Amino acid sequence: MYRVAIFNPAPGVGKTTLGANLGHALAMAGRKVTLVDLDPVGSLCDSLGLFRPPSHGIDQVILGGVSVESVALSTREELHLVPPGEHLAEIEQADESGSERGRLLRQALTDGIPGTDVLLMDCPSKSEWLVASALLISDLVLVPVTCDEAGALALPGLLETIEQFSRVRGRAIDYRVVINRMPVRRRLTGPAAGFIELAPGRVLKHTICQTDPIAQARSAGRTVFEYRPDSRAAKDFRQLATEWLATVDVS
């Protein structure tokens, strides 16, 4: 099982949209995919049409006694989803040390679901220990950045965080940068052109353009492949999945 954390502490950079649509693209490519919604808000659930997600989810795994498999839901062919659960926000904000909770979460996500090829973890914008747990067990970190000055300015700090966790683990964490919200018909210019220099060999060639079907699909609780399979958005995510699969070994 190949474990991937989708990480960027900044809100609104497209982490959840990337998780839902890349996950579905990988599933359509024949990979067995499990999505884990680590955000107490449950945005990933909304993106897949679970506007009233189950009360039990990853929260029960953290509290102990249940497996990830027991709270996973089959949402599409070859695609499972682990919801956050109604108590994740309380657990996240608890005053006591998160070390034991983090240990339980890391162990459960390491075990995963039998038969899963790719485990995609949608990290929240906040919550240090939830994010830390995901990064510490990841085989790869996907870093979505917006194609603007804010994205360019944030990338060095994101890469430094990954390096810090690499030192904690005692081995390097592999990562790939996904350029998101790229204006249609625009090339990388200005500050955004520095992405490739900041992360040589780690920036995925295929970008996600900013188009209406992405937001419309999310509001409808569907992926772009279900909402507009012939759209530019569907093509972007399909190409991104193909490129990503060619760069990593998920067998």
Give residue limits of the domains in the chain.
Answer: 2-247
Over residues 70-111, the pLDDT tens digits come to: 999 999 999 999 999 999 988 887 655 567 888 889 999 998
Q: Name the one residue in this structure whose structure tokens are 């009360």.
A: 55
Identity of the amino acid at 54: P
For 2-247, CATH number out of 3.40.50.300, 3.40.50.2300, 2.40.30.20, 3.30.390.10 equals 3.40.50.300
Gap between the Cα atoms of 214 and 129, Å rounded = 30
The answer to whether 31 touches 115, Cβ cutoff 8 Å, is: no
Average pLDDT score over the chain: 89
Q: Is 205 exposed, middle or buried (0-12, 13-18, 19+ CB in 10 A)?
A: exposed
C-beta atoms surrounding 160 within 10 Å: 10
The answer to whether 211 touches 183, Cβ cutoff 8 Å, is: no
Please say whether the dihedral angle defined by the alpha carbons of residues 29, 196, 43 and 209, taken in this order, is positive or negative.
negative
- Say whether pTM exceeds 0.95: no
Over residues 20-48, the pLDDT tens digits come to: 999 999 999 999 999 999 999 999 999 99
Over residues 201-226, the pLDDT tens digits come to: 888 989 898 899 999 999 999 999 99
Check whether 174 has a pLDDT greater than 70.
yes
